Amino acid sequence: MTAAPLTSAEIEAIRAQFPILRREVNGHPLTYLDSAATAQKPGVVIDAESAFLRTANAAVNRGAHTLAGEATEAYEDARGTVARFLGVAENEVVFTSHATEALNLIASSLGTASLGRGAGSHADAAPLALREGDEIVVTELEHHANLIPWQELAARTGATLRYVPVLDDGSLDLEAAARIIGERTRLLAVTHVSNVTGAITPLDALVPLARAVGALVVLDACQSAPHLPLRPRELDVDLAVFSGHKLYGPTGIGVLYGRAELLDAMPPFLYGGSMITTVTMERAEYLPAPQRFEPGSPRLSQAVGLAAAIRFLEGVGLDRIAATEHELAAHLLGGLASVPGVRVLGGVDPAGRVALASIVVDGVHAHDAGQVLDEVGIAARVGHHCAQPLHRRLGATASLRLSAGVHTTVAELDRAIEAVASIRPFFGLDGGAAS
């Protein structure tokens, strides 16, 4: 049964939980349409992190005193909350500093395996090794964080990096994907939702191609986790990453999901305390996942804040958030389509999209366009959004991105559309023809 979108009254109740939405910018009520870059924090997240620091802060797994026990319990409870959110086991959840670190962790670990060094039994890591002639496949949609680590891994191992191209409408060329993902493919790394077009990647078409040749599948879920139910096992991916700060949680924390047997076979990424069983002057033995990937002092208050953010989202309902986003996407894209001289990267069909749109305004640089919106209190992103190859493919050097959050209203989108319509006249350009 399809979930019902949030009502206007429910959205207003949600908005009341975000303290920052009460402020003004340049004399106007803040309209925050930059959630794809970083989401704002509801009061429960701010309070949870603050309360931990005020009442339970201590080193985890390292002391017998009461505070240490409470801190350890809070940290592991947070891991349990994330595991429930993803529908996976707790030992399949690794806390990192951010999603970028999580992706680098995977690439570095596979690189270590490829050098014949690693944790525990070398035989455990050997099947993960990449060799000359092997292929790593990405897509032209990727954020730099899901591209550059694989470029570097290919360079270190002698593997070849290939990519699935994008069509003129911003969608993936699935026919090309079927040709590119083949017997030499060892790893497919793909975004779940494009941070430029808002398009949901057709994993049901891509993942079976990888599975047919025994390739690992890595999913960048940074832009999907706040907007869609995220179930890595149901999506049939081996590894998935997302960031806390885009999920209404704190900065400084990310999550890596990995199949338990895969994580236990992967060599560590960083080395130090809290991730070992035995150390001599000659060698070390490492704990199983997730501890082997969490050396040093962990992200304590951040994990507690992330758990609070997840509980907040679960209280709203990810299925209802997705239904609401579908309506917001249709409203936003339809409104932008009516503005002369504005091109929406990826087109204006709302099917299979979250409420995110990147636009190019004819004759106006994206940064100048963003300043026009900022003058009336609208926060939007400008630049290439760490996706230069995709911008280049779509014929743009930069764009102005509008991205909704759980607190976004139709009225705010209307304000933004109206402001976008004012950009060209502001710079003395005529309306032109919509493109």
pLDDT digits (tens, 9 = 90+) for 2-61: 899 999 999 999 999 999 999 999 999 999 999 999 999 999 999 999 999 999 999 998
User: Looking at the domain assignment, is residue 435 inside a domain?
Assistant: no
Q: Which are the catalytic amino acids?
A: 386
Mean pLDDT of 341-355: 97
Domain boundary among 267, 284, 314: 314
Same domain, 119 and 180: yes
Q: What angle do CA 42, 44, 45 make, to 5 degrees?
A: 70
Q: Is the pLDDT of residue 119 over 50?
A: no
What integer pLDDT is reported at residue 61 of this predicted model?
81
Same domain, 53 and 198: yes
Q: Is the pLDDT of residue 432 over 90?
A: no
Q: How many domains does the chain have?
A: 2
Same domain, 195 and 296: yes
When pLDDT is cut at 50, 70 and 90, the band that residue 431 belongs to is low
When pLDDT is cut at 50, 70 and 90, the band that residue 121 belongs to is very low
- Can you point out the beta strands (E) in 200-298? 216-220, 239-243, 254-258, 276-279, 284-286
Mean pLDDT of 237-265: 97
Mean pLDDT, the chain, whole residue set: 95
When pLDDT is cut at 50, 70 and 90, the band that residue 114 belongs to is confident
Same domain, 232 and 100: yes
The token pair at 92 is 């399949």
The SS3 of residue 277 is strand
Q: Is the pLDDT of residue 125 over 90?
A: no
Q: Are 82 and 244 in contact (CB under 8 A)?
A: no
For residue 194, give the CATH number of its domain.
3.40.640.10
Same domain, 225 and 154: yes
Same domain, 203 and 81: yes
Domain membership of residue 89 as a residue range: 48-314
User: Looking at the domain assignment, is residue 353 inside a domain?
Assistant: yes
> Going by C-beta distance under 8 Å and a sequence separation of 6 or more, which residues neighbour residue 208?
none
What integer pLDDT is reported at residue 2 of this predicted model?
83
Same domain, 175 and 80: yes
Domain boundary among 285, 314, 343: 314
How many CA atoms lie within 13 Å of 57's alpha carbon, on the beta-carbon side?
A: 11
Q: How far is residue 361's CA from residue 343's CA, in Å, rounded to a whole number?
A: 6
pLDDT digits (tens, 9 = 90+) for 149-197: 999 999 999 999 999 999 999 999 999 999 999 999 999 999 999 999 9
Cα pseudo-dihedral 390, 394, 388, 225, rounded to 10: -40
For residue 367, give the CATH number of its domain.
3.90.1150.10
What integer pLDDT is reported at residue 1 of this predicted model?
64
Q: How far is residue 22's CA from residue 30's CA, in Å, rounded to a whole number?
A: 7
User: Looking at the domain assignment, is residue 347 inside a domain?
Assistant: yes
Mean pLDDT of 303-314: 98
pLDDT digits (tens, 9 = 90+) for 71-105: 999 999 999 999 999 999 999 999 999 999 999 99
Q: Radius of gyration (Cα) for the chain, nearest Å?
A: 22
When pLDDT is cut at 50, 70 and 90, the band that residue 116 belongs to is confident
When pLDDT is cut at 50, 70 and 90, the band that residue 435 belongs to is very low
Kindly tell me the sign of the dihedral angle through the C-alpha atoms of 97, 102, 106, 107.
negative
Q: State CA 80 to chain mean position distance.
A: 20
CA distances in angstroms from 296 to 60, 270, 275, 292, 347, listed in the order given: 10, 9, 8, 10, 46
Same domain, 113 and 257: yes
Mean pLDDT of 243-255: 98
User: Looking at the domain assignment, is residue 41 inside a domain?
Assistant: no
Domain boundary among 314, 336, 369: 314
**Of the candidates 34, 28, 23, 33, which has an alpha carbon nearest to the alpha carbon of residue 376?**
28
